[in-house]
Structure 1
């Protein structure tokens, strides 16, 4: 890969990480009553419970 391509990918990764952190902070601020484990179970682990 060329240097410009590598720098583009690194910059894109940084932007994505910053956006994810901002969204997580906003979500946690709006849902203070929920714990992270409850959020993970409800949003990400649900598919595991359907396939046994």
Structure 2
């Protein structure tokens, strides 16, 4: 692999690790909220309000 390809793979890995850490921290803080409620409130809500 070239240096640029290695840098890209490392960058993607770092972003994935940060996303996993933040998701785990969020789920720990909001453990009473189910995944479907979280998706509806944070990602799918815009679909319900758009006309």
Fold-level similarity (TM above 0.5): yes
Q: Which runs of 4+ in 1 moved over 6 A?
A: none
Matched, 1:43 2:13: no
Structure 1: gaps of 5 or more residues: none
Taking structure 1 as the reference length, the TM-score comes to: 0.90
Taking structure 2 as the reference length, the TM-score comes to: 0.92
Structure 2: gaps of 5 or more residues: none
Q: Larger relative CO (CA 8 A, sep 6+): 1 or 2? A: 2
Aligned residues: 51
